[in-house]
Amino acid sequence: MSDKRIHPETGQELHRDVRQQTVAFGSLSRTIDVPGWYPDGDGDALFVGTDLHGSNNAFKELRSEYGGHVKAVRKARGLTQEEAGRIVGGGRRAFQKYESGKTPPSEAAVGLIEVLAKHPEALATLRDVRAKMVTVTASTTGKKKTAEQKQLVRTRGRRVRMKAAKARA
């Protein structure tokens, strides 16, 4: 194999080298060595399939680690997946996927998860903000209902929606 290549788009001369790259998932990151064909200085590099095995493995490990981190934060704050999904956003299913590492949380969700991890006292504020958002949405659009209105009650083995709104009217 030659020790030089020409980049097919930029025309730059590339040399076989190993450079450090940062792989990130959620708020976790790891710096790893990645072999490839690199130009002198900055510019586009080329990789063959085996060059990226290290970064793929690092990504998978971080994904798994971050899921554990999300779950640990949720449990440390005494939240169910449903409540955590309501506070952080995305709902219960999204939070299950965050914890399993199947789906990375959005940047906004990562921010809230990290706030909860480092500032437990912020939980009350986040709960209050989310509760007000649901109430405001319900009163202005009529489409979303408050948590109380959504609550399901078992009656004779069937689920029926609470009639709290009618009882108040």
What is this structure's pTM?
Answer: 0.61
Q: Residue for token digits 């309501």?
A: 86
- The CATH number of whichever domain residue 89 belongs to comes to 1.10.260.40
- With respect to residue 137, please indicate whether it lies within any of the assigned structural domains: no
Q: How many CB atoms lie within 10 A of CB 139?
A: 10
Q: How many domains does one find in the chain?
A: 1
- With respect to residue 26, please indicate whether it lies within any of the assigned structural domains: yes
Q: pLDDT in tens for each of the 169 residues of the chain?
A: 568 899 999 899 999 999 999 999 888 899 999 999 999 988 899 998 899 999 999 998 998 899 999 999 999 999 999 999 999 988 889 999 999 888 888 889 999 999 999 999 999 999 888 877 765 554 555 555 555 445 443 333 333 444 444 455 5
- With respect to residue 138, please indicate whether it lies within any of the assigned structural domains: no
- With respect to residue 148, please indicate whether it lies within any of the assigned structural domains: no
User: 7: Cβ–Cβ under 8 A, 6 or more apart, which residues?
Assistant: 13, 14, 37, 39, 43, 44, 46
- With respect to residue 50, please indicate whether it lies within any of the assigned structural domains: yes
- With respect to residue 86, please indicate whether it lies within any of the assigned structural domains: yes
Which structural domain range is residue 47 located in? Answer: 4-120
Across the strands, what pairs with 59? Answer: none
- With respect to residue 104, please indicate whether it lies within any of the assigned structural domains: yes
Nearest-angstrom CA–CA distance, 169 and 58:
57
